[in-house]
Amino acid sequence: MLIKMGELLKRCLTLDDVYAVFAQYGGDFFPQCGGGLYVMNEETELTELVTQWGIGLPNEAVFALDDCKAVREHLPSACALSEDQIACEHVRMTMQPEGFKPYLCIPLSHQNEVLGLLHFQFDREEDVKNCETLALVLADLLSLVVINLRLREQLEMQTVKDPLTGLFNRRYLLETINRNIFHPERKEYPVSVIMIDIDRFRSINDEYGFAAGDQVLKAVGEFIKGHIRGSDIACRYGGEEFVIILPGLPLEPAVKRLESLREDIKSLKVDFDGKSLPELTFSQGLAIFPQNGGNMIETLRLAGVALRRAKQQGYDNYSIAD
């Protein structure tokens, strides 16, 4: 059974897949107890129950990993056979109405980084030690699978995200977006493409330095993230140029988005080295698929042509592809 679960874990593509596999086998491995897998939420730095088996654990229970004795004291495991032995605050906080149950905690860790916690509750004291060896083996296996998936996710993000702005990069735009959104057969489904250039960006680099320019790019990246819908895709196209893909948005509402971006960027304040940098403005070009090009490359090209026309007309302007 351990080999079979290991094979399934190797095929997991996401952490949710891992949790589902462990939920399937947890009760088989430990029929004499109930338990759950807690993992660290990196945003809150608290643990969350992601899967459980057997007797119920409180789903709403969240706690800091340091509330567990095993984590706090860097131990491979921690257990208590009676209530007066409780050394894990998270157990005391979540004790069920029926009272204390013997428990066992096994941290999931990798190179001194704690990834989560396996927690077991028993009806009989003698079952605790009987389960500990297998629980330690499973914790090691889970730790390796979790850390490998995290590393894979980080590498994938590095290949599709611009590290400076956090937006998608040009490669993602030209490969993934082109394949998934711009379908030649979907002629009735408009996709608006906005190409943006930060006006006078080179003068900021020249006067304040490249670090100040990077600060502006970061700020603009955050600004764009805050001005798109959940279905929109924002990319850093290169240098100070950005592209926003707006699936399902025809010309008129797309123009309103252009105007909103043009006005709102002026209120963005960027400070660097104790100084306020100059007010930012955008030049923008708009093209619509499939009216302006039968594929993404052509639509992007026409959005670029419209952008250059807007810049020729003066800063803080936009133009629409013919």
Return d(Cα 96, Cα 122) in angstroms, integer. Answer: 13
- Does the pTM of the predicted model rise above 0.85? no
The more confidently predicted of residues 155 and 165 is 165
**Structure tokens that stand for 253 in this block:** 């509402």
Residue 165 has pLDDT above 70, yes or no: yes
Contact 265, 280 (CB under 8 A): yes
When the pLDDT of each residue in the chain is averaged and rounded to a whole number, the result is: 88
DSSP state letter for 279: P
Of the segments 150-159, 173-182, 272-281, which one has the largest average pLDDT value? 272-281
Q: Which residue has the tokens 């042509």?
A: 305
Q: Which residue has the tokens 């895709």?
A: 233
| Predicted confidence band of residue 240 (pLDDT cuts 50, 70, 90) | very high
Query: For 15-38, what is each residue's pLDDT tens digit?
Result: 888 888 888 888 888 888 888 899
**Structure tokens that stand for 8 in this block:** 């399934």
Q: Which residues contact 313 (CB under 8 A, 6 or more apart)?
A: 319
The highest-level CATH class for domain 170-320 is: alpha beta
| Predicted confidence band of residue 160 (pLDDT cuts 50, 70, 90) | confident
301-308 average pLDDT score: 95
**Structural domain boundaries in the chain:** 2-158, 170-320
Q: Where are the beta strands (DSSP E) in 55-190?
A: 78-80, 103-110, 113-122
Contact 194, 286 (CB under 8 A): yes
Helix, strand or coil for residue 105?
Answer: strand
Amino acid present at 182: F
Instruction: Centre a 10 Å sphere on the Cβ of residue 319 and count the other Cβ atoms it contains.
Output: 21
Q: How high is the pLDDT of residue 49?
A: 87
Residue 194 has pLDDT above 80, yes or no: yes
List the single range of 30-39, 50-59, 99-108, 303-312 with lowest mean pLDDT: 50-59
Name the maximum alpha-carbon separation found in the chain: 82
Best CATH choice for the domain 2-158 from the list 1.10.760.10, 3.40.1190.20, 3.30.450.40, 3.40.50.880:
3.30.450.40
Contact 307, 283 (CB under 8 A): yes
Contact 241, 221 (CB under 8 A): no
The more confidently predicted of residues 279 and 94 is 279
Angle at CA 229, nearest 5°, toward 175 and 290? 50
- Tell me the Ramachandran region of residue 309: left when phi exceeds 0, alpha when psi lies from -120 to 50, beta otherwise: alpha
Task: Write out the catalytic residue numbers.
Answer: 240
Q: What percent of the chain clears pLDDT 70, i.e. is strictly above it?
A: 94
Q: How high is the pLDDT of residue 58?
A: 65
Query: For 120-143, what is each residue's pLDDT tens digit?
Result: 998 888 888 888 999 999 899 889
Residue 296 has pLDDT above 90, yes or no: no
Contact 260, 268 (CB under 8 A): no
| Predicted confidence band of residue 183 (pLDDT cuts 50, 70, 90) | low
Quote helix, strand, coil % in the chain, to nearest 5.
45, 25, 30
